[in-house]
Amino acid sequence: MLEDKIALVTGSTSGIGLAIAADLAAAGCTVMLNGLGEAAQIEAARAEVARYGKAVDFHPADLSRRDQVEALVADTQRRFGRIDILVNNAGIQHTAPVHEFPPERWDLILAINLSAVFHATRAALPGMQARGHGRIVNIASVHGLVASVDKSAYVAAKHGVIGLTKVVALENAGADITCNAVCPGWVLTPLVRKQIEDRAAREGCTPEQAERDLLAEKQPSLRFTRPEDIAGAVRFLCGPAAANMTGTQMVLDGGWVAR
């Protein structure tokens, strides 16, 4: 379905980003990976995506720095000739009440979770506009639609991502360039596992009980959204069936925002 498209996926050496990169490769895409990790982990991610037979490369850009985001886009275009699909997935988290939130963590979360989305999109758009085709998918969050305590920076950034998604969609609505957001609820990533472990320690219960309690508070399905579910949503948004779908939010939250 996406044969010979060129995809850049940020934060794709593990978790959700790796699932997206692998799924796009399975659909026929050449992929540029980007993210953190030791050399062995990065090579394992590259091998996971490369098993579908398409070219795969890796770029170590630090997304908190504008110049490196710009270099990531430019180097992908030099390496593969263009970018057809941009998936802005990279993100970090920190939790604390607003009055205790470390300002340096606020700045870093906004830089990676929001500003990097803007800088990558700004750099990739001219090539898409020149060719009259492009797909931009921003991995936002249910926290781009609702709030939770102790997550001021993350909630602010993800709300910003959804607003930016709408603007990019409107500015390019006359071309075959779409921009959409995917908003997962709880996904069992290392970030969420850490929250479960911390909760179990704080409340003196088992990790299994802490996991059930976490889901019961927010996600009526009592099931985590899977990385492969998010990857499937991204593939759909990049495919022909979503050609007239732009400026939207696909919510995969087990009923969280329906309450």
| CA-wise closest residue to 180 among 125, 131, 238, 223 | 238
Average pLDDT over residues 89-103: 96
Query: Based on the domain organization, do 181 and 207 belong to the same domain?
Result: no
CATH of the domain at 69: 3.40.50.720
In this structure, is residue 14 part of a structural domain? yes
Catalytic residues: 154
pLDDT (tens digit, 9 = 90+) per residue, 129-140?
A: 999 999 999 999
Query: Based on the domain organization, do 29 and 156 belong to the same domain?
Result: yes
Residue range(s) defining the domain that contains residue 32? 6-185+225-258
Does position 191 have pLDDT exceeding 80, yes or no?
no
pLDDT (tens digit, 9 = 90+) per residue, 69-94?
A: 999 999 999 999 999 999 999 999 99
Query: What is residue 190's predicted lDDT score, i.e. its pLDDT?
Result: 78
Q: How many independent structural domains does the chain possess?
A: 2
Distance CA 226, CA 20 (A): 11
